[in-house]
Structure 1
Amino acid sequence: MSARSSQKPAQAQQPLAAATPEKSQRKNKHASPTLSPESPTVGTAKRSRSTDASQATSLMWFRTDLRVFDNEALSKACAAGRPVVALFVIAKGEWKHHDFAPIKVDFVLRNLRTLAQSLAKLNIPLVVRTADAVKDVRPVVLDVVSQIGAKKVFWNKELEIDESRRDARIAEDLTAAGVTVSVNNSQMVVLPDLVFTKDRSPYTVYTPYKNCWISVVDASPNLLDLIPVPDPVAAALPEIVANYAKEHSEIPDALDEFPMPDELRKRAHAEWPAGERVAHERLVTFLEQRGARYKDERDFPAKPSTSRLSTYQASGVISSKLCVRLAWEANHKRLATGQPGLVHWISEVVWREFYRYILVKFPRVCMNKPFKLETDRVAWSYDKEKFESWCEGKTGYPIVDAAMRQLNTTGWMHNRLRMIAASFLTKDLLIDWRWGEKYFMQNLIDGDFASNNGGWQWTASTGTDSQPYFRIFNPLLQSEKFDPEGVLIREFVPELAGLSNDVIHEPSRKLSSKQLARIGYPEPMVDHGAARNKCIAEFKRASGK
């Protein structure tokens, strides 16, 4: 099979440290608004009426690609020979509908500020508009196109089904109005249609997908070519457009619809600084200092062994292509062989690609459906009281409680803990995985639909390439293996901090009910062995085995 890349080859041989923005250069049914002058618009600014081709502008619509480096749509917009205006829509209705966490919204707003600064150096103003309801995004975008007299609109493709349908409708409206639309790739290294089985059907298992993915990149290494920061736009904006952009440049500090505790905000700002430069520096530091140890240490949540780049990837502050490219270079231009730590980390980035591939090829996973449709016959529990105990980290299983309290306290959770917590909810409590999926999205700073949905369905044994239903995480064994000294438990479950290592993983085994009550820790919600047997029996019944 062949692979192609629409990116420009750009300094493919540059060293790791050169890949920074500064260094590289310096389900909805909506109405159908039109772009005719007589049509109502959402905005209040004076409409730009100029039809002179020399005065026409290009619009770059940013979404989950908050960066100027390795941004295909931005590069093409700047190369079009027209003045460029950038747009970001604060889509409050969409974000609520898709369960954006307040901490993620805060992160997006902070990155908008750094993006606006980077764009200003390119002579591109950032217009910021707000869409209160899901249906408002289309008319807002169409209104901005009309206001600035845009003749070309550029954006990078979003892969989820709601976003794909929205973009298709907007593209139809723009095309009908004589506006050229350029849809580009920003989220994936290898586009879904380049990876397929021998009979040209989509992959449903990760390892064969990964092997094909690697063969595509090995055959066409230009897929890893990075797109540099564009040169500053030479064409000046018409005065009326420049004034419009200035009137709509304010980026709010916070949104009332997404309230966030001050302590969490302060912590998030310290742990997750905004900006491409930060993301790129973290990537380089990880590869140089921890990449070699990644395979051996990645599952120990108390160790600083992971890249912690998922937050930046989820909002498009850094591209997957840059992540793979620099790891590939650090591994002497190898993807599948070489340094085990780097090879394994590359495979984790490919997992992100795989889950995006799945939602494109099997869009039902975007519609609240399991990948394995037969698992909808499982008689899930909807016990709200037990669910709340899990959410609050009060299950009586210290490693599960530490995981949930890490999430609630920091807005982030280590991947091993995500699997442990998800397994407990879906297998020990037999609660519908969709409840857990939603709760994670509502609280994670790195909330990403494809990865979150894929991870939950993997753990719940409802998804593609998922763990077999009879393989169920034992929380005690997981705790003893991956947090042997109880470091994470002591940090996030402080009432257990004084217990010895042989007690802290399962205090109910050594302490009486009165002793547990005295330190303020609950007894286990369920017996793991009995819960495991019940879960297996239910999956067997649902599958007819």
Structure 2
Amino acid sequence: MKKHGECKSPPSEGGNVLYVMGMKSLRIEDNRGIAHASHLAQERKKAGGKGAGNLIVIFFISPTDWKMHDRGPRRIDFVLRNLREIKKQLDELNIPLMVYTSPSRKDMPKTLIDFAKQWDVKEIVGNVEYEVDECWRDVAILKAAGEAGLYATFLEDTYVVPAFHLETKTGHQYAVFSPWNRAWTAHIEKNMHLIDESPSPEANDKGIRTGKLGNLFDRQGEGFGIPEYVEGYECKDAEYMRKLWPAGSHSARKVLSNFVRGKGGESAFEDRASELGHKQVAPDSKDSRLNRYGIGRNLCSENGTSRLSPYLAAGVISPRACLRATMEVDKNKFKVGRSTGTETWNTEISFRDFYAHVLAAFPRVCMNHFFVQKYERVCWEYDDSLFQAWTEGRTGYPLVDAAMRQASQQGYMHNRGRMTVASFLSKHLMLDWRKGERWFNQNLIDQDFASNNAGWAWSSSCGVDPQPYFRIFNPTSQSEKCDPKGEYIKHYVPELRSLEGAAVHNPFERLSKGEFEKLGYPKPIVVHKEARERALRRFKEPGST
């Protein structure tokens, strides 16, 4: 990057600055890349005089990339909705947002440079993305920019601590979370500027609208414009997604505020993520959702998690904003651990960095390989009927079915549910966990490769710092712990709403044959004891049946 990023054009030459907005940077607030691009533009404006130093923003729609990365309609619809919100914000600042549909990822660097020449751009700025294809794309952009005599740079923004900034005592990258987390915490404590807020971009002069760049503001056709939908990614439940997951950084901030100030211990199965809830409490109240996060995050029936994952995955809010919010509650102290709700949530935020660091350091996980390579020899089953029953929430295990139906209906699943259904697919059904990973990618609105891949690999014992292969979630006991009154199950599995007490967690074994048949609910598709023994056998001796 240093080789290709050398500045070939001093500010005194005037010209404009182009910010390349990525899939994980869909905001203009607290965005390292656009803040730097704005700063460069202001320098050029001062040195180059009238008409110089304009900031232009471009976003590439790339369906071929999305198909390769298993993006789903809900995730893409969320991107388009956020782009519309960003366009409104930038219009107020006289900054044009160019959204261009690129036929091929390979054409993107050349297309970008062509646009840069047309728009008198001298400097290009973006934010780093760690996935392998994205890295190669950005290296190609840097190379093309250098060959064209332009300056290009990509900044760290998506994660709090950049990859490769933490090493073991022997100089290697971490592969175990606990020591990594201690290093991450210590690094931030020594470098608190890492969570400082970046300034929003400054406005362009109004004259840009009457100059040669004026046609960029409402340019449509020939690949330009924000489409209502992208072919192949039509979101059939778009209205419901808008209700649950409103777009825009202002919505993301409301979601965060609601988590900090909302009263915990309540359910919110159908509430809008940004809805303030029924009751508000002081941020430092022990009853707030944030302060009881250590308890609430494990209860599927409780609105105990932040519900920020779609906004973090798309970069509609920064993880730094989340850490700053906890510091406000903890009297400007940065705390990580498990003792309090704020400590626990900061620890969970750190997992995002950890998984990204693993992705950057061990890129094979981006290429359909296991981190624990010996388990690539595990003998999987290949039964499409079992996979279909899992996807449709018809396994006969209520918590599994409730979680899968939540995902199908809402494009989202409670984290405890994610661990349970992942364990069930890979250990009870012995289906290749990558099938489940792909289904999550295609159906969840908070799709993020690093977190999704790592979560699935952990649950299946095939990933970094994994769940030991002999630890297999019992879906019934998980149900009793995570949904003790069966409220979550009854909401998403209406066949079981009439049940009382322990029967809701295992109706097949806890009801008479006649009572069970009246429910219209499927029998368990596997027997827990038999499935567990098979998984233990196959993981203990990879390759055995």
TM-score, normalised with respect to structure 1: 0.87
Q: Specify the alignment match of 1:5 in structure 2.
A: none
Contact 1:69–1:228 (CA<8 Å) still a contact in 2?
yes
Q: Specify the alignment match of 1:384 in structure 2.
A: 384
Q: Could you list the per-position Cα deviations for residues 497-528 of structure 1 after superposition, in whole angstroms to 9, with x for gaps in the alignment?
A: 11222211111103455654443211101111
Q: Specify the alignment match of 2:20 in structure 1.
A: 61
Cα 1:109/1:103, change in 2 over 3 Å: same
Note the residue ranges of structure 2 that are not aligned, 5 or more in a row: 1-10, 45-52, 261-282
Q: Specify the alignment match of 1:35 in structure 2.
A: none
Q: Specify the alignment match of 2:367 in structure 1.
A: 367
Q: Map of 1:73-152 to 2, 5 A cutoff?
A: 73-80=33-40, 81=44, 82-152=53-123
1:284 maps to 2:278: no
Q: Specify the alignment match of 2:173 in structure 1.
A: 202
Q: Map of 1:36-435 to 2, 5 A cutoff?
A: 56-63=15-22, 64-80=24-40, 81=44, 82-234=53-205, 236-237=207-208, 239-248=211-220, 250-261=225-236, 264-287=237-260, 288=283, 289-332=288-331, 333-336=333-336, 340-435=340-435
Structure 1 CA distance for aligned equivalents of residues 35 and 211 of structure 2? 24
Give the counterpart letter for 2:231 in structure 1. D
Q: Specify the alignment match of 2:470 in structure 1.
A: 470
Q: CA deviation at 1:139?
A: 3.9
Contact 1:302–1:488 (CA<8 Å) still a contact in 2?
yes
Secondary structure of 1:420's counterpart equals: helix
Q: CA deviation at 1:53?
A: 7.6
Give the counterpart letter for 1:405 in structure 2. R
Secondary structure of 2:436's counterpart equals: helix
Structure 1 CA distance for aligned equivalents of residues 218 and 306 of structure 2? 38
Structure 2 CA distance for aligned equivalents of residues 132 and 92 of structure 1? 7
Q: CA deviation at 1:117?
A: 1.4
Note the residue ranges of structure 1 that are not aligned, 5 or more in a row: 1-51
Contact 2:161–2:194 (CA<8 Å) still a contact in 1?
yes
Structure 2 CA distance for aligned equivalents of residues 514 and 178 of structure 1? 78
Secondary structure of 1:192's counterpart equals: coil
Q: Specify the alignment match of 2:263 in structure 1.
A: none
Secondary structure of 2:524's counterpart equals: coil
Q: Could you list the per-position Cα deviations for residues 322-381 of structure 1 after superposition, in whole angstroms to 9, with x for gaps in the alignment?
A: 111221232231223696100000000000100000000000010011111111011112
Contact 2:427–2:531 (CA<8 Å) still a contact in 1?
yes
Secondary structure of 2:125's counterpart equals: strand
Range with greater deviation from structure 2 (84-93 or 139-148): 139-148
Q: CA deviation at 1:83?
A: 0.7
Range with greater deviation from structure 2 (107-116 or 508-517): 508-517
Structure 2 CA distance for aligned equivalents of residues 378 and 142 of structure 1? 47
Secondary structure of 1:212's counterpart equals: helix
Q: Specify the alignment match of 1:489 in structure 2.
A: 489
Structure 1 CA distance for aligned equivalents of residues 225 and 198 of structure 2? 29
User: How many residue pairs end up in the alignment?
Assistant: 491
Q: CA deviation at 1:224?
A: 1.4
Q: Could you list the per-position Cα deviations for residues 446-476 of structure 1 after superposition, in whole angstroms to 9, with x for gaps in the alignment?
A: 0000000010000000011111000000000
Aligned Cα RMSD in Å? 1.9
Range with greater deviation from structure 2 (505-514 or 67-76): 505-514
Structure 1 CA distance for aligned equivalents of residues 92 and 307 of structure 2? 28
Structure 2 CA distance for aligned equivalents of residues 389 and 147 of structure 1? 54
Q: CA deviation at 1:299?
A: 0.7
Q: Could you list the per-position Cα deviations for residues 271-300 of structure 1 after superposition, in whole angstroms to 9, with x for gaps in the alignment?
A: 111111111122123123311100011111
Q: Map of 1:496-535 to 2, 5 A cutoff?
A: 496-511=496-511, 515-535=515-535
Range with greater deviation from structure 2 (58-67 or 284-293): 284-293
Structure 2 CA distance for aligned equivalents of residues 377 and 259 of structure 1? 38
Contact 1:147–1:241 (CA<8 Å) still a contact in 2?
no
Secondary structure of 1:462's counterpart equals: coil
Structure 2 CA distance for aligned equivalents of residues 543 and 294 of structure 1? 41
Contact 1:428–1:531 (CA<8 Å) still a contact in 2?
yes
Secondary structure of 1:351's counterpart equals: helix
Q: CA deviation at 1:136?
A: 4.0
Secondary structure of 1:70's counterpart equals: coil
Range with greater deviation from structure 2 (481-490 or 252-261): 252-261
Cα 1:499/1:442, change in 2 over 3 Å: same
Structure 2 CA distance for aligned equivalents of residues 103 and 147 of structure 1? 34
Give the counterpart letter for 2:211 in structure 1. E
Range with greater deviation from structure 2 (270-279 or 505-514): 505-514
Cα 1:132/1:500, change in 2 over 3 Å: farther
Secondary structure of 1:229's counterpart equals: coil
Q: CA deviation at 1:213?
A: 0.4
Structure 2 CA distance for aligned equivalents of residues 307 and 294 of structure 1? 9
Structure 2 CA distance for aligned equivalents of residues 525 and 140 of structure 1? 52
Give the counterpart letter for 1:75 in structure 2. A
Range with greater deviation from structure 2 (266-275 or 132-141): 132-141
Of all paired residues, the percent bearing the same amino acid is 39
TM-score, normalised with respect to structure 2: 0.87
Structure 1 CA distance for aligned equivalents of residues 28 and 407 of structure 2? 30
